[in-house]
Amino acid sequence: MAAGTMATAAGAAVILYYVWLRKSEVKTDGVGSEEDEDLSKSSRSVKRRIVRRPAQAPATWLEAIATISETLRFTYSETLGKWPIGDLAFGINYLMRRQGNFEVASVYAGDNCVELKGEEIKKELNNLLRLLTLCRLFSKKPFPVFLDSAGYSEEDALLHKPKAGLMKPAFTIIRDENSKCFLLLIRGTHSIKDTLTAATGAVVPFHHSVLHDGGVSNLVLGYAHCGMVAAARWIAKLTAPCLLKAIAQYPDYEVKIVGHSLGGGTAALLTYILREHKEFAASTTCFTFAPGKTIPTYYRFIAKLSVNDVNPHHFHNKPCSN
């Protein structure tokens, strides 16, 4: 109880320090021709965030403290650093009310929509519903209860990380004999550490290659959410050896990466990473439900080139115009 109070007080003190630091920086600026300077400073800060953000999960306490410090600074710069708190509260309240008044049909249906029918459609929807149920059970239930509710045994759990850390979401690998696949389930936001991972939303480079017929066919360059990139790389490092061993033992099994919310965004990036290995290129698929946005709206993938056409001069940062 005392430790929790001290942690809360320390966190509040850090936030207040950044608020005071930000205000003091604003006061020390002049009034004359500082608008151009502010714009240049803002563009430089964006570049610094791209370069300085850690794209790996912290391995020590010092790295964790540095990551939390950067996360708080980034969160402040993207919220109270841009808008007054009253405007933020009004905007959030307005969007929540507006979203609550939307009907599903008005958002997703249209005049050109076609109703899908048939047994294969029902089978596919039942499969998606089952994966969504597994996500919910894994996120909400203790692991033994999850196994029992989902119809698995402890022998089916090949790997399990029950406790989340900073940029280290909880996950598990399950052998599903009925569907002949290995399920890699990634939990969504469930704890304060998951929340900090989601809040670490600065832009970091995320480049990957696309394999075809055992060789590299395309090189994709882009940017993605820092916390999810770090989480995906951490999970890939832990799960790749286990999955390679499992696929060697069960060569007819597939790999399905499943996640919801924070876990969904991480699952999407993890799929790109694993598919860079020829063993996973053809057998790995991804299923996400309400995934977190992994790529900011103001950046896009800047190149999708054939390997023979790769030119180092093509690789430059280019913000979206829209």
Most confidently modeled of 43-57, 100-114, 128-142, 302-316?
128-142
Query: What angle, 0 to 180 degrees and rounded to 10, lies between the N-to-C axes of helices 226-249 and 262-274?
Result: 60
Q: How far apart are CA 66 and CA 68, in angstroms?
A: 6
What was the pLDDT predicted at 65? 87
Q: How many residues can be counted in the chain? A: 322
Q: How far apart are CA 10 and CA 69, in angstroms?
A: 12
Taking residues 96-103, report their average pLDDT: 72
Q: How far apart are CA 29 and CA 45, in angstroms?
A: 16
What was the pLDDT predicted at 161? 92
Reported as a pLDDT band with limits 50, 70 and 90, residue 24 is low
Q: How far apart are CA 204 and CA 53, in angstroms?
A: 7
Mean pLDDT, the chain, whole residue set = 75
Taking residues 300-305, report their average pLDDT: 32
Which phi and psi (to 5°) does residue 188 adopt? -80, -165
Q: What stretch(es) of the chain map to CATH 3.40.50.1820?
A: 118-305
Instruction: Indicate yes or no: pTM above 0.85.
Output: no
Cβ contact 289:164 at 8 Å: no
**Residue that is written with structure tokens 């970091």 in the block:** 204
What was the pLDDT predicted at 106? 66
Per-residue pLDDT tens digits for 205-250 = 888 777 666 666 677 788 889 899 999 999 999 999 999 999 999 9
What was the pLDDT predicted at 144? 92
Percent helix, percent strand, percent coil in the chain, to nearest 5: 55, 15, 30
Reported as a pLDDT band with limits 50, 70 and 90, residue 177 is very high
What was the pLDDT predicted at 43? 45
Q: Which residue has the higher pLDDT, 214 or 13?
A: 214
Question: What is the CATH topology of the domain spanning 118-305?
Answer: Rossmann fold (3.40.50)
Model confidence at 192: pLDDT above 70 = yes
What was the pLDDT predicted at 19? 52
Model confidence at 292: pLDDT above 70 = yes
Two tokens at 277?
């290995």
Most confidently modeled of 4-8, 73-77, 214-218?
73-77
Model confidence at 13: pLDDT above 80 = no
